Amino acid sequence: MTDVSTRFQTGFPKIGIRPTIDGRRKGVRESLEEQTMNMAIATAKLLSEHLRYPNGEPVECVIADSCIGGVAEAAACADKFAKSGVGVSITVTPCWCYGTETMDMDPSIPKAVWGFNGTERPGAVYLAAVLSGYAQKGLPAFGIYGEHVQDAGDTSIPFDVKDKLLGFAKAALAVAYMRGKSYLSMGSVSMGIAGSIVNDAFFQEYLGMRTEYIDMTEFVRRMDENIYDTAEFEKALAWVKENCIEGPDNNPADIQTTREHKDKDWATVIKMTQIARDLMVGNPQLAELGFGEEALGHNAIVSGFQGQRQWTDHFPNGDFMEAILNSSFDWNGIRAPYIVATENDSLNGAVMLFGYLLTNTAQIFADVRTYWSPESVERVTGHKLTGAAQHGLLHLINSGPATLDGTGEQSINGQPAMKPFWDITEEEAQKCLDATSWRPASVEYFRGGGYSSDYLTRGGMPMTMSRINLVKGIGPVLQIAEGYSVDLPADVHDTLDKRTDSTWPTTWFAPTLTGEGAFHSVYEVMDNWGANHGSISYGHIGGDLITLASMLRIPVNMHNVPEKRVFRPRAWGLFGTANSESADYRACQNFGPIYK
């Protein structure tokens, strides 16, 4: 089996803090050294206390050896950062500095500048000057400037500055962590779904990732030749028998499989889960079994499994494999979720990865299946929708691969939630398992059998649905919808659920409406959604997604994030502000993918 140290063996990017200073000595620089370095120290402390890597460890910051007053010290800082594995750059200063002499010139590293809002020295003047230089040189940078004036001796970081520092750093770390990793395509195109046509140019130029490919026959080879940890398999099988509740078989009696066949399916889907994980991240146990090449894995932080139909017409489906890997726990205990896209929808896999890296929580993969208007719900069930659902609902449901964290059986302050694995208790993991029924797959869909996870997401959770689409001539575009999961009366849910496949997991989602554009109504959200799939994250993370997208030069074509939470590089304002979406498109097109 794998452990955290093996899975994350390539390490994590660090945040580099660059204290810049007025280079004039004999009085000016000397008077500012302590204040400037203290800003860097305070920034590093803030980030390390509030942000964690995917393995749960605090984010690590590296501070330049000295304040940077000119190009020689800037070069020395750049050298230290390169040797230290820095992937994110934050410049801080309370004073005027020489802009193009002190700026960070690495085009592949996301960068921000915090100019102290104080009257004694013109930190804001440097901020404006250096951001102008970044725009002129085609190196977009984020500007951070507190709303209220601080005294020169004030070492605190105002709340608005904290929010921007943390928002920038979260997104920038995601950019840095993706670089050099892989998307693993397990199989090829599923049922003609465009997102499963894996676009290597997108992953390479926008995310800095490579694409790896294996044929699904690799699963057969590894099962036939016992290229998996057999001791772990026995452990997993016992765990499944104890913790995975098998639900009733909804198939017509004449095509239901035997008990012997069902037990064989359980064994197969467990092995598939082990093999998919080993393909992604490797497994040193395989080397001990004599399979050194297979032990290495593909360095994949996200993958997709084709499944339908070439696999599922003959073998058990991938639903159990995908659901368990996407969850924050399995037979080895509580651990970080793996990101696996159903039907090899690489574009949904990419946005699932975004959500995961921004939150360190599991992501729900779902079809954006049906818009239920208030009138339709009342006609079919007699129930009048109220509260968050009063304007209608989206039925998010797919063939059973959604993370079990999506049950909402974890809690924060007594409310349903999805949490980073290090905050999940054994009791909460068990509640997620107990709330899930594993239903024998619909044989008419999945001729090879298998199991689908069936659960109902608890209502009241803030959630963000997102999706990347590729558009000919433009490239990738991102769409975002914040909203809430919703509880329906049991009989109402049952009536609506049975109109589709009731063996699959359901999330009832009510997007937040703004009264404008695609968010004029819930119907408009559904009507403007760009594909059949979406990724759903716990929390309202739309602002963080917008920040991340701007770093990657991916424009956002629809969102309902309040303007005060939108944070993009300062240069975006130079492309027009009357229509932020239009400015976003122009800026992204102008600067282009960061790795092209």
**What digits encode the pLDDT tens for the residues 521-534?**
999 999 999 999 99
Average pLDDT over residues 170-196: 97
CA distance 219 to 494: 37
For residue range 388-420, list pLDDT tens digits in order: 999 999 999 988 789 999 999 999 999 999 999
- Which pLDDT belongs to residue 592? 96
CA dihedral of 472, 473, 475, 477, whole degrees rounded to 10: -80
- Which pLDDT belongs to residue 2? 43
* Token pair belonging to 120: 């004694």
- Which pLDDT belongs to residue 223? 98
For residue range 507-557, list pLDDT tens digits in order: 999 999 999 999 999 999 999 999 999 999 999 999 999 999 999 999 999
Place of tokens 């309902």: 560
Residue 169: count of CB within 10 angstroms of its CB = 23
Whether 199 is in a domain gets the answer yes
CA distance 486 to 465: 14
Q: What CATH number did the domain enclosing 82 receive?
A: 3.40.50.1070
The bridge status of strand 86-93 relative to strand 111-115 is parallel
Where do the H-state alpha helices sit in 326-465? 346-359, 374-381, 426-434
**What is the total count of domains within the chain?**
2
CA atoms within 13 A on the CB side of 430: 5
Domain co-membership, 162 together with 289? no
Domain co-membership, 279 together with 169? no
Is 367 among the residues known to form the active site? yes
Identity of residue 95: C
Domain co-membership, 169 together with 245? no
- Which pLDDT belongs to residue 3? 53
| 343 among annotated binding-site residues | yes
End-of-domain residue from the set 178, 206, 221:
178
Q: What CATH number did the domain enclosing 189 receive?
A: 3.20.14.10
Collapsed DSSP state (helix, strand, coil) of residue 43: helix
- Which pLDDT belongs to residue 577? 77
Whether 420 is in a domain gets the answer yes
Domain co-membership, 147 together with 238? no
Domain co-membership, 514 together with 575? yes
Average pLDDT over residues 346-375: 97
CA distances from 400 to 170, 293, 446 (A): 30, 32, 12
For residue range 207-253, list pLDDT tens digits in order: 999 999 999 999 999 999 999 999 999 999 999 999 999 999 999 99
Residues paired with residue 537 on neighbouring β-strands, in sequence order: 464
CA distance 262 to 266: 6
Domain co-membership, 65 together with 26? yes
Identity of residue 224: D
Q: Is the pLDDT at 58 greater than 80, yes or no?
A: yes
Domain co-membership, 142 together with 16? yes
Q: Which of 498, 501, 421, 381 is nearest to 453 (CA)?
A: 501
CA distance 354 to 549: 9
Q: Is the pLDDT at 6 greater than 80, yes or no?
A: no
The bridge status of strand 437-440 relative to strand 245-246 is parallel
CA distance 168 to 160: 12
- Which pLDDT belongs to residue 1? 40
**Own/partner pairs for 45-50, CB < 8 Å, 24+ apart?**
46/157, 46/162, 46/165, 46/166, 47/15, 47/165, 47/166, 47/169, 50/166
Whether 596 is in a domain gets the answer no
Domain co-membership, 72 together with 145? yes
What contacts 474, CB < 8 A, 6 or more positions away?
555, 585, 589
* Token pair belonging to 320: 């159990």
Domain co-membership, 192 together with 328? yes
pLDDT-derived band at 279 (thresholds 50, 70, 90) equals very high
- Rounded to two decimals, the pTM is 0.97
- Which pLDDT belongs to residue 578? 61
Q: Which of 396, 431, 419 is nearest to 505 (CA)?
A: 396
Whether 400 is in a domain gets the answer yes
Calculate ∠ Cα 40-174-81, nearest 5°.
40
Domain co-membership, 172 together with 199? no
pLDDT-derived band at 153 (thresholds 50, 70, 90) equals confident
Calculate ∠ Cα 483-489-493, nearest 5°.
75
Q: Is the pLDDT at 134 greater than 50, yes or no?
A: yes
The bridge status of strand 329-330 relative to strand 333-334 is antiparallel
Domain co-membership, 214 together with 141? no
CA distance 554 to 549: 5
Which residue out of 319, 322, 367, 544 is catalytically annotated? 367
Average pLDDT over residues 157-185: 97
End-of-domain residue from the set 178, 201, 234:
178
CA distance 342 to 402: 9
Calculate ∠ Cα 389-516-393, nearest 5°.
20
Q: What are phi and psi of 211, to 5 degrees?
A: -110, 130
CA distance 76 to 64: 8
Domain limits for position 428: 182-591
Q: Are the C-beta atoms of residues 340 and 276 closer than 8 Å to each other? A: yes
- Which pLDDT belongs to residue 4? 45
| 229 among annotated binding-site residues | no
* Token pair belonging to 572: 């975006």
- Which pLDDT belongs to residue 7? 84
CA atoms within 13 A on the CB side of 490: 0
Is 30 among the residues known to form the active site? no
CA distance 245 to 589: 50
Domain co-membership, 74 together with 12? yes
Whether 258 is in a domain gets the answer yes
Average of per-residue pLDDT values in the chain? 95
E strand or H helix that includes residue 334: strand 333-334
Whether 468 is in a domain gets the answer yes
Residue 408: count of CB within 10 angstroms of its CB = 25
CA distance 542 to 478: 11
Average pLDDT over residues 435-441: 96
End-of-domain residue from the set 178, 202, 234:
178
DSSP codes joined into one string, 335-356: -PPP-EEETT-HHHHHHHHHHH
Which residue out of 330, 343, 428, 487 is catalytically annotated? 343
Q: Which of 340, 315, 480, 353 is nearest to 398 (CA)?
A: 340
Calculate ∠ Cα 504-510-514, nearest 5°.
150
| 314 among annotated binding-site residues | no
**Helices and strands in the chain, H and E counts:** 19, 23
Whether 36 is in a domain gets the answer yes
Collapsed DSSP state (helix, strand, coil) of residue 189: coil
